[in-house]
Every structure is written in C-alpha cells, then in structure tokens.
Structure 1
Amino acid sequence: MHRRWLLSALALLMSIVLAACTTATTQQSQIKVTNPTETINANSQQLPTGSVKRVVALSSLSADIISRLNSTKIVGITGSKLFKNDSKFKDIPRVSEGQSPPNLEKIVALKPDLVIGAEGFSNIPIQKLQQLGINTFLTKVNNWESLEELTKTLAKSIDADPLPLLNRYKTFLPEKPTQGFSTLALVSRQPILAPNKNSWAGDLLAKFQAKNIAADLQGKSPIGGYVTLSAEKVLEANPEVIILVNPPQGNSEAALLDSLKKEAFWQQLQATKNNRVYVFDYFGLVNPGSIDAIEKACQQLKQVLFAA
C-alpha cells in the first residue's frame, strides 16, 4: 500500500509540475500567448474579435468553456476522462488520448483557425502549430479571476456572450462567506506538499475564507504555487480541517487514509481527532479541469468549511 501511495503521489506531482514547469508563479491573473518572451494581462486583446469559427482545444477547461459559449465553434478536443460520458462532446474528434501528445496531423486536418492549449501542458505542440501558420493561444488559470478573464477573452474571439457563464460561476461561491477553519490541503504525503495562495487550489480556499496554513508560505519547491511542509510544521499549525487530494489516476479513499494513519504525527492533529478529514478529486481543486469539476469542488468546500 505504501508503494501504491508513493506512485500515486508521484503521478500527482508530475501533473502539477507539467502545469507549472514553464513559467514562474505569479499572483496576477494572466494568459500567456505563444511568444514565450511575452506575457500579457488577460484584459489585453490578443485574439481576433468575433472572427474565430473553428477551434481545437488541447485543454479540457478551454474545450468546456468554448462548448458552453457556442458549441458549433469547437471542432476538436483533448481526450480527457472528464468528457467520457458527456453527450455534448460525443461526436467531436479527439486529437489526443491519455498521456500521449496531440496528433498534429489530426489537428491540421480539422482546419482550425485557433488552437488553444494550457501553459505547461501544450507548449511544444502549440509552438509546432504556430510554425505551420495556425493561430494559437496558451492559457494559464491559477486563480478565480483568470478563469473569468479567460472566459471573456474566448467569448470575444468567437463572438459569444460570456455573461451567462460568468453568472453561473458566481453561484459556485458562497453568498456570505464567514471566517472558516484552519485548513491543510494535502496533495502529496511524501513530501508533504500543500498549495499556497499562488495556486488555483490556494485561491479557491481563500474564496471560501479557509485559513489555509500554507497560504503565505514560500519554499524551494520547483512546483509553482506549492510548498513542502515538515511534519513538525503541520503539528505546529494543527489544522482543524484536512483536505486530501485523490490523484488523477484515482485511488480509494480508504487507501489514502490508511496510509496516512501510519504517520506518527497523524493521530495528534485536531482534524484527525475530530474526524474532519475529507477527500477531494484532483480535477476541480488542483486542476480546474472543467466547469462541472469546479462546481463540484465548490459544493464540497461549502459542506466542509461551513459545517457547524
């Protein structure tokens, strides 16, 4: 079981590394275009307004946003498990499956006038497509504001109204947030890795007024937006709530909890003593993934952080 946990943790770490390896962490809401030396504010106009007709999305989140804004504009998507049982994506060609890189020939054959990728995941194929003369766009969503700005930017590019989707986002957040519990979000056990305020997960916790014990910490972790913690630091903070993240490939909740119970410090934490340890999916909390995944994570946070 220890080996299974370690493999799962490594897989999760690699997923986060891929999302963060190409740029330094930033506290600002940004979208990065394909020129690696140029970072722009999301409010800047970089895409042709209203002229995009055929979009291939290499990130599940961008595919979902485009589809909800105007489903006729999306002509190719990444093969994400998030869309496996989603009828609206049933007949849309997949240009990649699993961990395999996107098939450039399939993308070109779809004759897109825009290909959207996620920074860190899609840089290499995006650069190759740009060399072929295809318009490309790299996105980075590491806080709530960047999600809203991305939605507005994509809506302008395909001549769609972003307001219905933006209004839906608002329903995910608490109407009257109250001061929450001290919280540790644990995305890996070895090392103990937690999101600070510069990550999607950290920003989401802040939206729910959680007292994220790692929010203001900085460290030497190569993963932007995440810090490593010692067992002593966790004991010192002694969080009231602990959130465990299920790796992308999945693992049973029982396996996650059983492996942690073997740690000497685990039973000393008030969250453990009060049975306030919860398991969240990777998509929604660590990687936004899709609109439905974000909504599910927010619903769970309401239940966990606003509980009596």
Structure 2
Amino acid sequence: MYRRWIVSALAVLLSIFLAACTNITSQQPQANVIATTKSPNTNSQQLPKESAKRVVTLSSLATDIIYQLDQTKLVGITGSTLFKNDPSFKDIPRVSEGQNSPNLEKIIALKPDLVIGAEGFSNQPIQRLQQLGISTFLTQVNSWKSLEELTIKLAQLINADPQPLLNRYKNFLPAQPKESYSTLVLVSRQPILAPNKNSWSGDLLTQFRAKNLAAELQAQSPIGGYVTLSAEKVIEANPEVIIVVNTPQGSSETSVLESFKKEGFWQQLQATKNNRVYSFNYYGLVNPGSIDAIEKTCQQLKQDLLGIEKT
C-alpha cells in the first residue's frame, strides 16, 4: 500500500516541487509531490511580457507564496486540502478538485495572464495553455535555496516585494545550530525509503545540521532524491534519532510508525531504545506544501532535534 503511494506520487515529482498515494483519493496531484533533483525545463516556460495581474496556481506552495506576496493577484487556485478549512482562500475559485486534472475551461474563464504549475504534475495542462497563448511558469523546489529563488522569481512576475517573505523564512531556521544526533528519516515502510541530500527533506535536515545517515547514499530508486533501504541497512546505520513521516491522509497518523513497530529489527535500534522516534507530517518535511506547513515542520525540528542537541 505504501509502496504504491510513494512510487506513483513521488516518482513523478520528484520532477517538481516535491506529493498521490493510492490511499489519498481526495488529494490534488500537485499537493502530493516529493521534490525532485531535476531542474524545471526552461524551454517550457512562456512568461508574461509585463507583470501579471491575474494569476492561477496549480500547486499549493505556489498558491501560498503568491497569496503572501499579493493576494489581489490570485484569481484561481488548485483544490488542496491544505487550504480546505482556511478562510483566507474560501472565496478564491478552484480550478481542480481531488485527483482530477485542472479544468482548462475554468482556467480560461478566469482570464489569467499567468498560470503557475508544478514541474512533473502540471506539464500537460501547462502545454495546452501555452498553445492557447496563455503565459505559464513551472516551479520546482528541492532545497531551501530553491524555495528562496522561487519566491524571488514569483515576486518579479507579479511586481511584488519578496523581502518580507524571505525574512520570514529566515526565522524558521535556527540561528546557530550545532551538529545534532545521527538521524534517519523514513517516509514509507514498503519499501523503506529515506531521503538523501538531493531532496527537500534531505536539504532541510542540512539546514538544521542533522547528521542525515542517508545523505550521501545513491541507489536505484523510482524516486529522485530518495534511496531504498533494507532492514539490515537500517540496523547497520543504527540512528540515534528516527523521524517517521505520516501519510498525507486516509489513515491514522501513527499507521506508518505502527507498521515499523511490528518489525523485528525495530526494537534493536538505539533511537527506539532511547525513545527518540518522532512522527512528522508529510507536508512540510517531504512535500513543502505551504509556507505554514514548512514553518510547523521547522518548529518541530527545533523541538525534536535541537531540543536534544549535542553539546
């Protein structure tokens, strides 16, 4: 079950901006992505000649960034569960729902002068919109630096000031983190997947100076930036801290962790023995998702990693 979720949703994006699992039938594809190591195809961009005034976004992170930069420019968004109960977005038209492709007729009716999509998930509708003469931009985030660069680029496209948002990002990170305990992030049980340094998750660990035991590993994997581990490899790594990622939705928050607890090797790990196993949300750690999701993840990393920081 987890294999199908990770392989189907992660394999594709890891062409974007890091999110659909067979258990998540109500998730928007753009919301279910793991960051890829590839760069966006600049040849597929069709940027507006003037600053955009009517923007439609096809990914949750782009939606949030545009809203924070200048909410008056946002005329249509993707139907993401991240904004389902957020009153800030309730009056903005949705151009997609669930796992359905964006509705091109709805997008065209909004008369956008820019449509922003996610590399790997939005390529097909973006290409169709380009054929109709609508300006487009594909995004991709797999590191903190790329998040900052994307924010600056989107601000340029709508003639907004990115600095307040960039300053906010800086507050998410620890001022002077010391190297913390050896850490392993597990994003699925079957197969056991862990992020290396070429992923949003891996780079985020770097920002907190966590010693990511999978950082330098390279292996055959359907998901760029992630490696497949055997139980033997996990035992060999024997991390001091383990972070288990919850599935986006559809099952209990502890389901992935509970599945690991049933494995014979789990109780052999020092992280388990020392009660240093932590559950994290998929959004923010695996898929950036939204600015709020990133902030909450950083707050939890400060608490769970830096709270037990080595001296």
User: TM-score scaled to structure 2, two decimals?
Assistant: 0.89
Report the CA distance between 1:8 and its aligned residue.
4.0
Report the CA distance between 1:248 and its aligned residue.
1.6
Contact 1:52 1:158 (8 Å CA) reproduced: yes
Contact 1:185 1:245 (8 Å CA) reproduced: yes
Instruction: Give the SS at the match of 1:151.
Output: helix
Matched, 1:33 2:42: yes
Q: Which residue of 1 aligns with 2:135?
A: 135
Deviation digits for residues 139-158 of structure 1, max 9, x if unmatched? 11000001000100010111
Paired letter, 1:19: L
Q: Which residue of 1 aligns with 2:302?
A: 302
Report the CA distance between 1:190 and its aligned residue.
1.0
Identity of aligned residues (%): 70
Mapping of 1:154-303 within 5 angstroms? Answer: 154-303=154-303
Report the CA distance between 1:206 and its aligned residue.
0.6
Q: Which residue of 2 aligns with 1:148?
A: 148
Instruction: Give the SS at the match of 1:175.
Output: coil
Instruction: Give the SS at the match of 2:77.
Output: strand
CA RMSD of aligned residues (A): 1.9
Report the CA distance between 1:31 and its aligned residue.
4.3
User: TM-score scaled to structure 1, two decimals?
Assistant: 0.90
Contact 1:183 1:212 (8 Å CA) reproduced: yes
Matched, 1:20 2:2: no
Report the CA distance between 1:260 and its aligned residue.
1.1
Contact 1:244 1:278 (8 Å CA) reproduced: yes
Q: Which residue of 2 aligns with 1:119?
A: 119
Contact 1:34 1:137 (8 Å CA) reproduced: no
Paired letter, 1:237: A
Paired letter, 1:151: T
Instruction: Give the SS at the match of 2:95.
Output: strand
Structure 1 stretches of 5 or more lacking a match? 1-6, 39-45
Contact 1:50 1:159 (8 Å CA) reproduced: no
Structure 2 stretches of 5 or more lacking a match? 18-34
**Cα distance in 2 for residues equivalent to 1:145 and 1:196:** 16
Deviates more, 1:48-57 or 1:133-142: 48-57
**Cα distance in 2 for residues equivalent to 1:9 and 1:304:** 27
From the two aligned structures, give the one with the greater strand fraction: 1
**Cα distance in 2 for residues equivalent to 1:14 and 1:59:** 17
Deviation digits for residues 132-188 of structure 1, max 9, x if unmatched? 111111111000001000100010111100000000000000011110111110011
Number of residue pairs aligned between Structure 1 and Structure 2: 291
Contact 2:47 2:136 (8 Å CA) reproduced: no
Report the CA distance between 1:259 and its aligned residue.
1.6
**Cα distance in 2 for residues equivalent to 1:219 and 1:185:** 16
